[in-house]
């Protein structure tokens, strides 16, 4: 039977196999593909909200740039370790106060950690770093400087790639470890043990504590968050500009493309999205079935 053998319009076609129907096997009904669904549950993005979210990526990129700038200043001896330490301390205290203020706005006084516990961990970390800084200073002595730089670059890149931008508090273990590895590598090329200590404390501030504060800011004060991101970006570009103008231009271009161009592409290309679903899709198990086992 070919498709041309005219079906009897009196008997409607049914999508069943158990019944012998008076239609040829290759009959195509009007209801063919009627259960096809397109782009179900698709998210419509708005440009400026995507730009705002991309701001986090941009500022993290700038943070890395700022860290490298500080290291360059230290290496050239234009920034003394004492200045860096004092500045870091002031910044840490300011940030801590801000963090507490933002926390108490949501859940007054029921934080799981006390100030004493925070002080304890800070003391332990600082004393250990201070004690080990001579060891860290000589750690990579037998490795050539080129290797150290290449390794740091790789690790900072790994930090940027693996950073959990959607949920940066606490920072992901892979990204944090990569960043600290890079800072140890860089710090070990500085002239003195105190330099190393100052650099590592600064690294902790930039890579571990700053994302936590920024995430708080994003949750509780979205308007200021955008401003802060912009500020960090400007500081990053400006700081690098004094050291290497070419690098600053490159960083600015990278920041522009990440925060402005990529969101534009996402929003534009969203129109071409054609996701088809239908009864042939494999069913998904949404329930938590592990409760039957454990």
Partner 1 sequence: MGHRRRAAAVNNPSSQRVSGAPAEAVRVPSRKHNICMVSDFFYPNMGGVESHIYQLSQCLIEKGHKVVIATHAYGRRKGIRYLTNGLKVYYLPLQVMYNQSTATTCFHSLPLLRCVFVRERITVVHAHSSFSAMAHDALFHAKTIGLNTIFTDHSLFGFADVSSVLTNKLLTVSLCDTNHIVCVSYTSKENTVLRAALNPEIVSVIPNAVDPTDFTPDPSQRQDNRITIVVISRLVYRKGIDLLGGIIPELCLKHPDLHFLIGGEGPKRIVLEEVREKYQLHDRVRLLGALEHKDVCGVLVQGHIFLNTSLTEAFCMAIVEGASCGLQVVSTRVGGIPEVLPEDLITLCEPTVRSLCAGLETIIARHRSGSVPSPASIHACVQNLYTWRNVAERTEKVYDRVAGEEVLPLHRRLQRLRSHCGPVAGSIFAFVAVLNYLFLLLLQWLVPDRFMDKAVDATGPLGLWKQEQSSKHRALSKSATKKAAEPKISR
Binding site for partner 1 (CB under 8 A): 1-3, 15-19, 24-26, 28, 32-33, 35-36, 275-287, 289, 292-293
Contact between 136 and 184 (Cβ < 8 Å): yes
Q: How far is the CB of 7 from partner 1 (least distance, A)?
A: 13
Q: How far is the CB of 25 from partner 1 (least distance, A)?
A: 4
Contact between 39 and 273 (Cβ < 8 Å): yes
- Residue nearer to partner 1 on the CB measure, 246 or 279: 279
Residue 38 φ then ψ, to 5°: -115, 140
What separation in angstroms does the CA of 284 have from each of 122, 274, 288? 46, 20, 12
Q: How far is the CB of 279 from partner 1 (least distance, A)?
A: 5
- Residue nearer to partner 1 on the CB measure, 39 or 138: 39
Rounded distance between C-alpha atoms, residue 267 and residue 258, angstroms: 14
Contact between 67 and 243 (Cβ < 8 Å): no
Q: How far is the CB of 18 from partner 1 (least distance, A)?
A: 5
Say how far residue 216 (Cα) sits from the centre of its chain: 15
- Residue nearer to partner 1 on the CB measure, 1 or 116: 1
Q: Which two tokens stand for residue 43?
A: 């998210």
Among residues 244, 202, 204, 235, the alpha carbon closest in space to that of 76 is found at: 244
Sequence-separated (6 or more) residues with CB below 8 Å from residue 186 = 68, 71, 148, 152, 199
- Residue nearer to partner 1 on the CB measure, 49 or 275: 275
Sequence-separated (6 or more) residues with CB below 8 Å from residue 167 = 215
Q: How far is the CB of 234 from partner 1 (least distance, A)?
A: 39
- Residue nearer to partner 1 on the CB measure, 12 or 191: 12
- Residue nearer to partner 1 on the CB measure, 146 or 281: 281
Q: How far is the CB of 284 from partner 1 (least distance, A)?
A: 8
């Amino acid at each position: 039977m070919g498709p041309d053998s005219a079906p009897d319009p009196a008997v409607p076609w049914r999508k069943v196999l158990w019944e012998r129907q008076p239609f040829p096997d290759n009959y195509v009904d009007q209801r063919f593909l009627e259960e096809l669904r397109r782009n179900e549950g698709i998210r419509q993005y708005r440009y400026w909200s995507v730009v705002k979210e991309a701001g986090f990526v941009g500022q993290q990129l700038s943070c890395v740039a700022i860290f490298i700038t500080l290291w360059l200043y230290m290496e050239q001896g234009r920034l003394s370790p004492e200045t860096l330490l004092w500045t870091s301390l002031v910044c840490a205290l300011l940030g801590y106060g801000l963090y507490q203020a933002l926390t108490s706005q949501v859940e007054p006084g029921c934080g799981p950690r006390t100030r004493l516990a925070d002080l304890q961990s800070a003391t332990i970390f600082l004393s250990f770093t201070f004690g080990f800084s001579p060891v860290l200073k000589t750690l990579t002595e037998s490795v050539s400087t080129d290797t150290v730089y290449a390794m740091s670059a790789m690790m900072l890149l790994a930090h940027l790639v693996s950073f959990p931008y959607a949920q940066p508090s606490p920072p992901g273990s892979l990204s944090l470890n990569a960043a600290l590895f890079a800072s140890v590598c860089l710090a070990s090329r500085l002239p003195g043990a105190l330099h190393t200590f100052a650099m590592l404390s600064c690294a902790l501030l930039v890579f571990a504590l700053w994302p936590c504060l920024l995430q708080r800011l994003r949750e509780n004060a979205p308007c200021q968050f955008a401003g802060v991101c912009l500020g960090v970006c400007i500081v990053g570009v400006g700081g690098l500009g004094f050291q290497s103008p070419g690098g600053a231009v490159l960083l600015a271009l990278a920041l522009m493309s990440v925060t402005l161009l990529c969101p534009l592409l996402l929003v534009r290309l969203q129109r071409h999205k054609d996701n088809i679903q239908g009864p042939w899709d494999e069913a998904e198990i949404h329930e938590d079935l592990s409760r039957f086992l454990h």
